[in-house]
Structures are given as C-alpha cells and as structure tokens.
Amino acid sequence: MKDIRVKALLAFVISLSVIAVLSYLFAGTLLKWILQSQLTAANGAEVNIAEVKLGVSPLQLRITGIEVTDKETPKENLVEIDSAQVELSTGSLLKSKVIIRDLSIENIRFSTQRASAGKIVTEADDEGVEQQPLEKSEGVTTASLELPDIDRLMDNAGLQTPAVFDALDKKADAVKQSWAEMEAYLDDKKKWDSYNSRYEKIKADYKKGNTKARLKALKALKKLNKEIKKDLKTFSVQRKNLKNVYNELKAAYKKAKQTPDEDLNKIKNSYQLDGAGMENISRVLFGENITGYLVIAKKYYKKIQPYLETEETVIMQVERQQGRYVHFKDFNPEPDFLVEKARFSAMLPSGEFVGSAKDITADQHKQNKPSVVKLSGKNLKHSEAEDISLTVDLRSKKERKLNFTYDISGRQINDYKVAAGDTLPLMMNTAQLDLKSNIKYQNKRINGIAEGKFTQVKFSSQRDTSGRNLASMIASSIEKVSDFNVDVRATGKALKPELKIKSDIDNKVNKQLKHRFKQIKTEYEKEIKEKFKQRYGDKIKSIEDKMASIDNYKLSLESSQDALKNKLSRYKK
C-alpha cells in the first residue's frame, strides 16, 4: 500500500463520481446548448429548443419545442416541431458511427409565427440559383390572337386601286373634254348657219346674176367648199385620234376594273386567318405553369446534384501525429450515419400528412438498401388523398437512381390561374383533379410523366367571349369544355429536359374553334369589302359614270356625224 497514493485515489474517485452525476443531471441542458448553437450556426438564424432529455438505456434523446427561425422573415419560423425522439445505437457510437435506430418527429409545421423575432447570425446566403427565364411556349402568339385592324391593313397593303383610278379619272376627263369639244364643233349652230347663209346667198347670186356674178358665186362656192372640206378633214383626224384614245381608255378601264379585286386579295394575303398554331392549345394554356414547376424542380435538383453526381473518391490529407485508420473486415458494416426507421407527421396548409422513412444514409452500399421516404395525406382540405414517395438509390457510384412519385386523388381546384397575361387570361374556377406523376432520374437524365384527369371543370376568361379576336374565340371554346386530360412528359438531360404537353382539350377546343373561325373569317372578309367600298367606292362609281357619259358622247357624236353627212350632202347637190 505504501506505493499507492490513497488520498489521490480517493480524490480521483470522488471527482469522477461528481463529474458523472453532474453530467447526467445537466446533460440535457448541455446538449440543448450544444444543439442550439450548432443548429443556429448551420441555419444562419436563431434555433430554439425548449427541452432536451437524455435517456441512457436505450440511449435516446427527446427534444421538444424546436423552432427554426426563417432568416428571410425572422418573425416566422421556417419549421416548428413539437417533439423529436431519437434512439441511438450505443455500440455504434463507440465506433464513431451515428446509427439512429428509430426517429420519431411529431407535428412538423411550416411558416408559423414566432413569439419574438429570431436573431439572424449570418447574412442570407445567396446560393446563386439562377432565376431562369420561363421557356417560351410555342403556338399562339399575341399577334395571332388578335384580328388586325382593317384600316391599318389597307394602309399597309400598298393598294393599287386609288392610283389606277385617279389616273383613269384624269384620262377619262381628257377624253370627255375632247368628245365635248367635238360635239360642240358638230353642234356649232352659228357656224352651220353661216355656212348655210353663205350657201343660200351663192345659190341666189348664181340664179339671178350674169356670167360675172355667176363666176363670182362659183368662186365663193369653191371657197366655201374648201373651208368645209378643211373642217371635215380636221374633224376626221380628231375623230380618229379620239377613237384611239377612247379605245385606250376602254382598255385601261377594263384593266382597272380588276384592280379592286386584286387589292382585296392582297389585303387578305397580308394577314393570316387560317388558324395555324391553334393545334397545341394545351401548351399555350398549361405551358407557362408547367415550365414554372420545372424551374422550381431544377432549383431543387441543383441542390441535390452534388450528392447524385459525386463520383471521385476524396483523398484525405493525413496530418502529422494523427496517423490514419486501418480498416479490417467489418462483420456488420454500418454507415457513418444512418437513420434506420423514421416516422413523422406534418401539418401543412392542406391538412395533416403522415410519413415514414427507411435507411436514410449516404453510404447505401454498406446496407445494400436504397433510402425510401413516403408521405401521405388523407381527408385533406382540398383532396381525398395525396401520396408522395421518394426512393434514392446511391448504391452504385456509376448509376445513381432516383424515383419520385406524386399521386393525387379527388383534388378540388378553385380559382386556379391557368394562363396569365393579357393575351388569354384564363381561370379554372372549379375542377376536380386526379393526378399520377412519376419522375425517374438516372445517369443525369430524367424521365418524367404526369397524367392529370380534370373533371367537373369550369373555365372563365376575362375576355369578351362573343368577341371576334382569336383569344376570345379560344376563350369561348374553352369555356365549353367540362372535362379533359393532360399528359406531360419531360425527358432528356436533367437540367434541360424536353417538355411535351398533350391534351384532349386540343381536339375539343379545335373542333369548336374551327366552326367559329370559319364564321369569323367570312364576316371579316365581308367587312374588308365594305371598308374597301367605303374608301374607293365613290371613286370607282365616278369612273363608271364618266365611262358611261363618254359612251353617251360617242353615241351622240355618231348621230351628230350622221347629221353632218346629211348637211354636207345638201351642199354637194
């Protein structure tokens, strides 16, 4: 005994006992402090824990009243959990492995109000998730959804009618003027009276006069004859020219008469009213929302991408005096972290969800089991049932797989904005949805299918459905649809999948749309004709009148010509 320090031994035993008792008594408080500070640092905002209780056999922790501050809105909790119970494997802890045999989380709630605003310890980290612009949906564009303004169409069509008819008008005026002059010449009474009186005088002088007087009369007659011949020659040339000009005018008029029809065709060809692009209404209607969901999915994918795509082995740098651990055959290989079983319940805005999880670990190859999470909600506020399941298979480093399913039955939809914007604002007032969706991920590629069946649908649009623009036509047709299916497929590269949207709404809408479209087209074309007539009708009418009057002149001239012949035949005798 002389070689043993008895007092020191006693002091050691007492100290150890005191430490053990104090540790046991204050373990909860100590763990609470450690957990709070660690979680706060990880979250970047205050995390509060009401109580932590430690159980020794089996080793378990019961944490109650967990409040995780939302660093964006510190007056709200990101998550609030009533209680979480963790049962740990003691033997595994000795091997520096955290094996949670059973995890139970009760009443998870999101976005709850805090009694006081939580402290923010770090700036909100901007993870740089790109706000990608929404992919433009193909099909109906804003322009093609509106019927073009007729006046603008006519202004921009480069119409020939006004120019052609103006030129024709001028030409007709000139011809008319010439005809009038010629008629005036033929109807020049003073001239003809003068010729007549001269002729009568010559005739009288010749009858009663002597030879000299007769010779003088003959000379006067010769002069008169010469003048009349000259007049007739002039008249003949003018008449010939006028006839040519008249023929030209007639030909130009004949050609000009076709111009309005040609212009109308030109106007019709300057806009498209053939319903092209109307065959994929579903993409126009649902494309915007679906691409929105895809953007969200991509955001989450980017967060889990490192876990799904890490293939290289990290080589640890050995520090001096730390050595390295040599691993032997493990009879019961265990991951460094594993949640064998977990149960949780969450209160979401749509109702209560109950979930379970199995084999949650990053070292799945040690267990040879994939991680499975299931979540289901029954008798929810807006649906009969909702089931979500996620299977993450990281067992093979080369082929990491993910399988996500989301099934909804009897989901009541109220006031769901199908398509926003001014082009075709459309609201699904009421509907019932049954959805089956599945997304499979493998080798950085996805294959996603979502099949939705909408029944008892009631659409409404803010557009005037009696309107004649295409958006109103579509709105009017859609409002008549009471049930339809939507089939969405996303395949290809996980970050840039090809999206295909199919729906029988296309056929349903198109059938009604085509009928209405034909009606509108006829009405529109009629309107164009009316407008054309309004603009150029008078001009065309005036030309027609002028041409008619020219024809009248021609007739009267011909009768005048006959009269002239009669008159002249008198002088011949």
Partner 1 sequence: MIDTFVKVFRLLSSDVEPYQLSLGICLGLVVGMSPLLTVQTLSVILLIIILRVNFSMFMLSFGLISLIAYLADPLIVMVGQQVLATESLNDVFTQMYNSGLWRFLNFNNTAAMGSLVISIISFLPLYFICLILIKKYRDVIEQHLKNTRLFHWASQSKLLAKAASITDKVS
CB of 5 to partner 1, least distance (A): 6
Total residues interacting with partner 1, rule: CB under 8 A: 27
Q: Looking at 57, 113, 332, 466, which residue binds partner 1 (CB under 8 A)? A: 332
Q: Do residues 463 and 425 lie in contact, with contact meaning Cβ atoms separated by under 8 Å?
A: yes
333: preceding bond cis by omega (within 30 degrees): no
Query: Is the Cβ of residue 189 or residue 320 nearer to partner 1 in the bound state?
Result: 320
Query: In whole angstroms, how close is the CB of 63 to partner 1 at the nearest point?
Result: 25
Q: How many CB atoms sit inside 10 A of residue 516's CB? A: 16
Question: What is the distance between the terminal CA atoms of the chain, rounded to a whole angstrom?
Answer: 186
Minimum distance of partner 1 from residue 35's CB (angstroms): 23
Per residue in 27-57, is it b (16+ CB within 10 Å) or e — as a string?
A: ebeebbeebbeebbeebebbbbbeebeeeee
User: Phi and psi dihedrals of 105, rounded to 5?
Assistant: -120, 125
Whichever of 328 and 498 has its CB closer to partner 1, that residue is 328
Q: Which residue blocks in 139-210 are alpha helix, DSSP H?
A: 150-156, 161-186, 189-208
Q: Kindly give the pairing relationship between strand 445-461 and strand 426-442.
A: antiparallel
Q: Name, in order, each residue with C-beta under 8 angstroms of 463's C-beta and a sequence gap of 6 or more.
A: 424, 425, 471, 472, 475
Residues 81-140 that bind partner 1 (CB under 8 A): 90-96
Closest CA to 109 of 350, 405, 296: 350
How far apart are the C-alpha atoms of 503 and 281, rounded to whole Å?
A: 9
Q: Which region among 245-253, 279-287, 324-332, 438-446 touches partner 1 (by CB under 8 A)?
A: 324-332
The candidate with the shortest Cα–Cα distance to 84, out of 51, 59, 44, is 51
With residue 293 as reference, give the H or E element that holds it: helix 281-309
Which is closer to partner 1, CB of 131 or CB of 322?
322
Q: Facing residues of 503 across strands?
A: 486
Stretch that binds partner 1, among 23-31, 270-278, 319-327, 551-559 (CB under 8 A): 319-327
Out of 127, 311, 312, 330, the only residue in the binding site for partner 1 (CB under 8 A) is 330
Shortest Cβ distance from residue 411 to partner 1 (Å)?
Answer: 50
Q: Which of residues 6-45 bind partner 1 (CB under 8 A)?
A: 8-9, 12
Q: Which of 189, 190, 212, 324 binds partner 1 (CB under 8 A)?
A: 324
Of 13 and 143, which CB lies nearer to partner 1 in the complex structure? 13
Shortest spacing between CB 325 and partner 1, in angstroms: 5
Closest CA relative to residue 161, chosen from 550, 545, 548, 535:
535
Task: Residue 275: name the closest of 503, 465, 470 by CA.
Answer: 470
**Closer CB to partner 1, residue 90 or residue 455?**
90
Q: Is 380 exposed, middle or buried (0-12, 13-18, 19+ CB in 10 A)?
A: buried
At residue 311, φ and ψ (nearest 5 deg) are -125, -25
317 binds partner 1 (CB under 8 A): no
Distance CA 210, CA 486 (A): 121
Work out how close the CB of 410 gets to partner 1 at its nearest, in angstroms, rounded to a whole number.
51
Instruction: Among 3, 126, 311, 498, indicate the residue that binds partner 1 (CB under 8 A).
Output: 3
- Min dist CB 333 to partner 1, Å, is 10
In the complex, least distance from residue 25 CB atom to partner 1, rounded to whole angstroms: 23
Listed ranges 2-10, 447-455, 502-510, 517-525: which one lies at the site for partner 1 (CB under 8 A): 2-10
Selected range binding partner 1 among 24-32, 325-333, 476-484, 534-542, rule: CB under 8 A:
325-333
The nearer residue to partner 1, 116 or 321, going by C-beta atoms, is 321
Q: Which residue has the tokens 């009568």?
A: 200
- Smaller CB distance to partner 1: residue 13 or 129? 13
322 belongs to the binding site for partner 1 (CB under 8 A): yes
> Which CB, 23 or 37, lies closer to partner 1?
23
4 binds partner 1 (CB under 8 A): yes
**Which among 208-216, 238-246, 303-311, 315-323 is the span making contact with partner 1, rule CB under 8 A?**
315-323
Among 327, 398, 570, 572, binds partner 1 (CB under 8 A): 327
Give contact residues for partner 1 (rule: CB under 8 A).
2-5, 8-9, 12, 90-96, 320-332
